[in-house]
Amino acid sequence: MILEIVTPEHTLFSGTVESVSVPGVNGQFQMLDNHAPVVSLLGKGAVKIFGKVELDESVASLFTTGDGTTDFAITGGVIELKDNKVIVLAD
């Protein structure tokens, strides 16, 4: 699946991932390839990216790695998954 993480300033990440886990307002949830369409509000937490991630050097310091994931901390936002493409609009 394709993941894009977008902030008001710019696109932080765009690439292919195995899966992604996000902090929904009702709890953490994960999306895999060919997941049903989703639109949801996000709460404070971490967007966890599973799979090999190549980050641009200008934004790499905003992400943390560990336990087989690459994480990006958010304070809220919105997620849309459609046609195997996930877009995270993050605060």
- Note whether 88 and 5 are within 8 A (CB): yes
2-90: CATH superfamily = F0F1 ATP synthase delta/epsilon subunit, N-terminal (2.60.15.10)
Choose among 10, 7, 17, 13: nearest CA to 57: 13
Q: How far apart are CA 1 and CA 49, in angstroms?
A: 11
Q: Give the pLDDT of residue 69.
A: 93
Average pLDDT over residues 4-30: 94
Structure tokens at 82: 């459609």
Range with the poorest average pLDDT among 59-63, 66-70, 85-89: 66-70
Q: How high is the pLDDT of residue 66?
A: 84
Are the beta carbons of 2 and 85 closer than 8 angstroms?
yes
78 Cβ contact partners less than 8 Å away, ≥ 6 residues apart? 39, 40, 41, 42, 88, 89
